[in-house]
Structure 1
Amino acid sequence: MSEDTTKETDRKRILLVDDDAEIVETLRYALEARGYETLVARDGNQGLALVEREDPDLVILDMMMPKRSGFLVLEKLRQTRPVPIRVIMVTANEGSRHKAYAEMLGVDDYIRKPFPMDRLLDSVANLLDQ
């Protein structure tokens, strides 16, 4: 196996599940600049399908989306995956009940929008190094 191939397969894969194209592109740019491979789903159903097909190392999941909310995606991931996948939930929702529910479902981190990009990148690095 060549060095280039090894580097490509060693890259951590992150699935972005968000219906806001601007946020997705901003996150994609920042994550790829740090050497991560990114996959994108525009709604919760696409997100679940990509998790099954692509087996990413981490999911960055918006709470409010069409077709299936981030909560429903997180519930399904926790029910169906033998090895839990790392999940960071991002949301513009200010309610503490939502954070408590996400934590009850086993979210690894919960970040309120807007957030400094360094906050998200630090969380990604910490979760993927575990």
Structure 2
Amino acid sequence: MAEEDLQPVDDASKTAKILIVDDDVEIIESVRYALEHEGYEVVIARDGNQGLALAEKESPDLIILDMMMPKRSGFLVLEKLRRMNEAMVPVIMITGNEGSRHKAYAELLGVSDYIRKPFQMDKLLRAVGTQLASA
């Protein structure tokens, strides 16, 4: 693979800061690697409470949020985010849960996109690009 193939495609994406809120180390590391490869700045939170604190402190352009986490679920994080100043930040919820009720509830809370695990990384990257373009 040529060196230029490893460069981010869109230089405008370099300024976008993405907060990943997940307790699964493998998900965090693989998503972080893919996002950083695309030129995004990545901030990591390993539970819902840390995610809320970092959302307020870091002012991310987008949040990737797991549904099931210790201390505070993705639903509770999303509810709080929508009541805070971060109300307009796009949130992509990722979950291993198959239930359609959960998706409906996430949409009611204002989630921007909902992706079930396991997912193809290119699907997540497309969702990130779409949300950042429309933000």
Out of 71, 82, 103, the position equivalent to 1:99 is: 103
| Partners of 2:26 and 2:123 in 1: CA distance | 18
Paired AA for residue 111 in structure 1? I
Out of 120, 123, 126, the position equivalent to 1:119 is: 123
| Partners of 2:66 and 2:28 in 1: CA distance | 10
Please report the TM-score for the alignment, with normalisation by the length of structure 2.
0.88
1:54 matched to 2:58? The reply is yes
CA deviations on 1:24-73 (whole Å, 9 max, x unpaired) are: 00000000000000000000000000011000000000000000000000
| Partners of 1:27 and 1:56 in 2: CA distance | 16
1:86 matched to 2:83? The reply is no
Q: Which runs of 4+ in 1 moved over 3 A?
A: none
Please report the TM-score for the alignment, with normalisation by the length of structure 1.
0.91
- CA apart distance, 1:82: 6.1
Structure 2 runs not aligned, ≥5 long? 1-10
* Identical amino acids, percent of aligned pairs: 67
Map of 1:4 onto structure 2: none
1:71 matched to 2:75? The reply is yes
| Partners of 1:53 and 1:62 in 2: CA distance | 19
Give the number of equivalent residue pairs: 124
Structure 1 runs not aligned, ≥5 long? 1-6
